[in-house]
Every structure is written in C-alpha cells, then in structure tokens.
Structure 1
Amino acid sequence: MRSVITALHVLDAVAERQPIGVSDLARAMDIPKSSVQRALRALESAGWIRSVAPEQGSGWVLTTKAGDLAQHIAGDLGVREAALPVMAELRDRTGEEVHLTIREDQEVVVIERVESTHPVRIHWPAGTRSPCHASANGKAILAHLRPADLAVALPGPLPGFTESTITAPEKLRAELAAVRARGYAVARSELRADIASVAAPILSPSGTPIAALSVFLPMHRLDDDTAPLGELVRANAQRIAAAVATR
C-alpha cells in the first residue's frame, strides 16, 4: 500500500513540475531517490508518464492518459445535465424508456433514466448494473475503447445469460467492429430474453467514450429493422457529446 501511495504522490509531483528528473523529484518530495525511481518505473509501465529527450527539457512528463482520465471525469460530472433534456425528447419520440450509463470495469451502470410512456414496461432503475458484453450500452462503449482498456473490460471468459449472449471473444470483437462502423449497438435478448436495447456512445472530443445513451424496451416492441432507431439514438448521443464538450 505504501508503494502505491508513493507512486500517486510522485505522479502529482511530476504533473506540477514537468519535465523533472529523479534527483529533483527526490529533493522536492524529501524521499529517497531509490523510492522515486521505483515509482517512476511503475508509472511508466502503466502508461501514466514518459521520459523526454534533453532537447525537450529532459526528465519526466505526463502522457495523454492523464488527459483521457480527466475528460472521463469531466464528462461524468457534466453529462447528466446535458443528457436529461435530450433523453426526454428521445422518450417522447419513441415512447420507450431511455437510459444514460457509464462503464465501471466490466459493467455498465444506469446513472439516469426517463420512463417509458407505455403501460407495459420493464422496471430497470438507476443504479442497475449489466455486464458490458451482454448489453447494448456496454457494447457501444467497448467498441470505442483502446486495446489496453478493452483488455481490462474483457479480462476473461464471457458468461452467458441467454442463448443470444455473445460469449466467444472473436465473435464479440467482430460485433464491436460492426458497432464502431455503424455508430450504434443493438442487444436482442442477450441479458434477459424479454428485453432489448439500442445504444450509442457519448464520446469526448478525443474519441474516448464517457457514457452511452440507449432506448430500452421489451423485446416484442423492437422492430426487425433497427437502423431508424439506431440512427436516432446515435444522433442524440452526438448532441449530448457536443453539449458536454462546450461546458
């Protein structure tokens, strides 16, 4: 635990003083040079920092990974406010429940919802978690992750929940490529036999997925041709992304 805390303090110090060398870091933090070197190696291995050449100032600087994290946090804080009016409009156009989700490790979590106007609906409250590979929201986000982040989101065997769940990694990767190409994901009876959803990612300006927007409905109300609904969800996800980017 102590080494983790030291590494985080070193990361803070690099951010404040970059570019900065090992000796200067050790003096500024008043800790042994060997401890600083171990922390720097760990942070470099994890992709948080990189060394720069003497002509660029020498020492250590942050990588873009820190910026991606900041964008994700900013998006989570601002995305709810930006999304709610768009979600209400999307519900009014479709009559179906609309969800806003974020990814946490191997799952997506509903952080906002707007209820369906139909008398027959499925109760799916805020805070509900779903495996990424078995939901449209999850697949919409997974399709836009960097390879290293995708490996974290899909660390091992994919559990099946229904006969329609994609459990073969190669089949899922092909599905994610298709999702990325068309801009939206579809889940038909993949988590439960009676539910379906169509989702699109909400992307930061750098292309990092910060959330996903989806229409959530009973399976019997999903048309065979999902393209019109998919394009509608995609367009509204882009509206939210544009609003978040200006905040």
Structure 2
Amino acid sequence: MSAVDPSPPVESVDRALVLLTSLRRGEVLSVSDAAAILGVAPSTAHRLLSSLVFRDYAVQDRDRRYRLGPALIDQRAESLTLSRIRSLAHPALEKLNDDLGETVQVMVRHGRNIRFLDGVECGLPLRVGVRVDDEMPAHCSAGGKAILAAMSAAELDRLYANGLPDWPTARYRDLPSLKRHLSRIRQQGYGANFEETEQGVSGLGVAVRDRLDRPVAAFTVAVPASRFVRSQVPEMRDALLRTANEFQEALHAGE
C-alpha cells in the first residue's frame, strides 16, 4: 500500500466513523440529520446508528435522537483514572482482605458492564476467585449496583435507553424495578448481590467517588453463598465503607 495513495476506505466503516466524529463533538443527531451528513437514505443512516447503539458507542434518547454512548465516554475517563485507581487500590485491597478474610476486588463501570481491575483472594479452600479484566452486567453486581445508585436518573435513562442487558441469574429485568432497588441502595449506602451474577456467589459493594461526587469505582467483597450469612453484613459494610473513604482521600489528594 502506498503511503501517498492509500486504499479507499470501506464505505460502511467510513460512514460509521463520520457519525462517531460528529457524536464526539457533542452533536445530537436524528436519523434525518445523520442521513444528511452522510448523503444516504434514512434507512441506511438508521442501520448505522443502530449498530453504534448495539456496541454502546451511541445511545438513543427519549426524543429518538442519538448522542455519544458510554463506551466512548468511559474510555476518555479511563485514560485519566484507571492507572491511578490500580496503583492506589492494591494496598487497600490487601488490608480489606486481612480485615474480612474473604476475596475482595475493585471494579469500574464500562458501559453497562463492570470490569474487575484488581483483587486479592482469601486463603480458604472454598473461595471466590479474582477475575481481573472480566466483565459482567453492572445491574447484577454488588459493586455495579453501588456505582449505578450514585448516578442520576437521567444518566440511568441514557445508559439503559435500550433496556437492561440479559443475564441468566439477573434479579432485575427492567429499568423501573432496577431504579426502585437503587433507591434502597442509596439509603443503605451499599449494594448487595445474592447469587445474581452467578449461582453460589454473594457479596457487598461500596462506590468510590471523585471530587465532583461522580462514581469512579467500587470495592467489593465476594463470598461463597454457602458461607454467607446476613449477620455478617454490618461488619462487611463497615469495612468496605472505611476502605472506600480512605481510598477516596488518597485519590482526591492526587487530583
């Protein structure tokens, strides 16, 4: 391939990139807007926008217009925060593991999912494993719920404009029921997962916020369901809250 005479772009890919460029500039597009930008039929523009929505690069609002989606918004935030979260989290995780004697992890939201960044396993034969870089739906995870509960109703509407993602063990299947659950989480200060991410695993999670009070991560403790008892909740909650508060102070000190 010549450096001065590049091959012509794949037409559908090029059109999608043109739309992404517009969305990244903050433009909000209707199907007719997108069709006019590309010089194509509305049906073609709609297919391209639907593909962007499917991959979380765009979301459709209540007015049926499209704006930048969580996948790209999160990538811009991740470049600034992920390395710092990882570097500060590990000592906090080791201390939390010592306090609770169970597997503990730190996670961030990635679109409609959470992504595990780091963790420390407990030493018991029966334990929950650490899952660095794994993802699962935020609305099923204890830490994911804590993060979602720290978001506004408008942010949740945009995030789940196309509904909640399917998950075999999910307890909440629609946004109204999830919002009611998140309201309770805001009151109690932590999220809980009782075999909602997978059978045999329960846990609690607490969100971490930046200086602007936006949720940037969550600390969680994960316990085999056969060993989890509700009387443990206050101890786990208090340890998670202490860890989150200390971590926030360290995170804010570097902002």
- TM-score, normalized by length of structure 2? 0.68
Q: Which residue in 2 is equivalent to 1:236?
A: 243
Partner Cα separation in structure 2 for residue 160 and residue 4 of structure 1: 28
Partner Cα separation in structure 2 for residue 222 and residue 93 of structure 1: 16
Quote the sequence identity (%). Answer: 22
The Cα shift of 1:97 comes to: 0.7
Q: Which residue in 2 is equivalent to 1:2?
A: 18
Partner Cα separation in structure 2 for residue 160 and residue 69 of structure 1: 24
Q: Secondary structure at the match of 1:242?
A: helix
Q: Secondary structure at the match of 2:94?
A: helix
The CA deviation string for residues 88-133 of structure 1, in whole angstroms up to 9 with x for no partner, is 0000111111111011111101010111121211334211111111
Whether the 8 Å CA contact 1:166–1:190 is kept in 2: the answer is: no
- After TM superposition, the structure 1 stretch with the greater mean CA deviation from structure 2, 76-85 or 201-210, is 76-85
Whether the 8 Å CA contact 2:105–2:120 is kept in 1: the answer is: yes
| Misfit runs of 4+, over 4 Å | 68-73
| Contiguous gaps of at least 5 residues in structure 2 | 1-16, 27-36, 38-65
Q: Which residue in 2 is equivalent to 1:182?
A: 188
Query: Equivalent residues in 2 for 1:142-157 (5 A)?
Result: 142-154=148-160, 155-157=162-164
RMSD: 2.6
Q: Which residue in 2 is equivalent to 1:193?
A: 199
Q: CA 1:176–1:73 in 2, change beyond 3 Å: closer, same or farther?
A: farther
Whether the 8 Å CA contact 2:190–2:206 is kept in 1: the answer is: yes
Q: Which residue in 2 is equivalent to 1:103?
A: 109
The Cα shift of 1:215 comes to: 0.6
- TM-score, normalized by length of structure 1? 0.70
The Cα shift of 1:146 comes to: 2.4
| Contiguous gaps of at least 5 residues in structure 1 | 12-34, 36-44, 48-65
1:159 aligns with 2:175: no
Partner residue of 1:132 out of 131, 138, 141: 138
Q: CA 1:91–1:192 in 2, change beyond 3 Å: closer, same or farther?
A: same
Q: Which residue in 1 is equivalent to 2:147?
A: 141
1:119 aligns with 2:125: yes
Q: CA 1:123–1:70 in 2, change beyond 3 Å: closer, same or farther?
A: closer
